[in-house]
Amino acid sequence: MRATTLKAVAALGALAMLTAACSSNPSGGSSSGGSSTSASAASFKACMVTDTGGINDKSFNAASWAGMQAAKAADPGKIKAVTYLPSTTSADYAQNISTFLSQGCGIIVTVGFLMADATEQAAKAHPNQKFAIVDCSYSSGCLKGPHLKNIDQLVFNTAQDGFLGGYLAAGMSKTKKVATYGGLPIGTVTIYMDGFWDGVQYYNKQHHAGVQVLGWNEKTQKGTFANSFTNLAAGQQIANTFINEGADIIFPVAGGVGLGTAKAVQNADSSGKKVYMEWVDTDGCISAAQYCKYFITSVTKGIAAAVSASVLSAANGSFAGGVYIGTLKNRGVMLAPAHHFASRIPTSLLAELNKITQQIESGKIVPATKSPV
């Protein structure tokens, strides 16, 4: 998949993300613009299997669905329908893929690291069926091999923008304590946390500061996890612990669980504590707008654009499988706009972030991570 293709659909993917955030289809599994979702020789249907967080997780499932919708909007003449099946548990992955195989989908998009085995097994058994998987590749060890040409691997070097998020958090913290935690201890989660931790250490080095990171240590790979992408109560409890320990900026890498953290931050604000956070995957001021005032920024990856480009390639006959890696340089990962904090971030800190971005893009700075993409 080519970076130029992603750039061509990036704006449309962002628009679709906004649409999905405001009017997702929680009860159904299709968006066909009035056409049937049944496959025929004259219609291309793109199909998606969600991870257990659900289509409205405000994170990677929602962003992937936005990419499906963006692809249809970009070429409605060829893509007659996009549809999804939700997974309640991991046991649903293979069954949902099987259901779509029987429907003649032009491409089946699976969302998340945890869907690797089910996706790879189906791709091996059906070599003429096109697949794309989000947050999973052979190089990361998520897919085991041998390499299959009918799988598009959509992965993101979020250590890069995680580094920027950590540097920004360290620069904005008043208590000199920031925190991060994950949903599950898997590579697509810990790569964000690695980058965040490393960004804080770089800030400390540059400013001779002593900002602490609660919840994660990149060197030991030990930290705090909710063991869920859906348990909001766990997110709130973890955040409350961090707040009680003095953290004033929290970065949850836990999908919808982060909404529990946002609630804890809101409650802290009501009690007079100045606590803020950074959202993950998508622009939180779009996907979780009710908490926008607490988001310094969002550490995002271009899932919608990547999924859209993969679906379009399958629809127009240019699908070739392989791997796409989102980076700062190709705009596949980035910090979202600061929104409410735009005038509150010191210009000197913004200048430092711009310089660091250029240094990461050039390879002068390589954020430390134990999680390959």
For the segment 74-100, what is each residue's pLDDT rounded down to a tens digit?
Answer: 999 999 999 999 999 999 999 999 999
Nearby residues of 301 by Cβ (< 8 Å), 6 or more positions away: 156, 158, 161, 281, 326, 332, 333
Please give the average per-residue pLDDT across 18-43, as a whole number.
43
Q: How confident is the model at residue 43 (pLDDT cuts 50, 70, 90)?
A: confident
Please give the residue that has the higher pLDDT: either 341 or 5: 341
pLDDT at 246 over 60: yes
**Tokens found for residue 157:** 């070097």
pLDDT at 370 over 90: yes
- Name the residue with tokens 């706009």: 337
Q: Which pLDDT value is given to residue 282?
A: 94
**Tokens found for residue 22:** 């405001």
pLDDT at 5 over 80: no
pTM listed for this prediction: 0.89
Pairwise CA distance, residues 258 & 82, whole Å: 28
Q: Is the peptide bond before 367 cis (omega within 30 degrees of 0)?
A: no
Alpha helices in 173-230 (DSSP H): 187-207
Pairwise CA distance, residues 160 & 368, whole Å: 9
* Single-letter residue type at 348: S
pLDDT at 6 over 90: no
Q: Which pLDDT value is given to residue 67?
A: 97
* Single-letter residue type at 292: C
What DSSP letter does each residue of 143-194 carry, written as one string?
Answer: S-SS--TTEEEEEE-HHHHHHHHHHHHHHH-SSSEEEEEESSSSHHHHHHHH
Please give the average per-residue pLDDT across 284-305, as a whole number.
97
**Tokens found for residue 371:** 């999680």
Q: Which pLDDT value is given to residue 2?
A: 42
pLDDT at 10 over 70: no
* Domains of the chain in sequence order: 3-157+303-326 (3.40.50.2300), 159-300+334-362 (3.40.50.2300)
In this structure, the number of other CB atoms found within 10 A of the CB of residue 103 comes to 14
Query: How do beta strands 107-111 and 216-217 pair?
Result: unpaired
Express each pLDDT in 101-160 by its tens digit: 999 999 999 999 999 999 999 999 999 999 999 999 999 999 998 999 999 999 999 999
Q: Which pLDDT value is given to residue 29?
A: 59
pLDDT at 229 over 60: yes
Please give the average per-residue pLDDT across 209-232, as a whole number.
97
Task: Determine the Cα angle at 84 with ends 81 and 90, to 5°.
Answer: 160
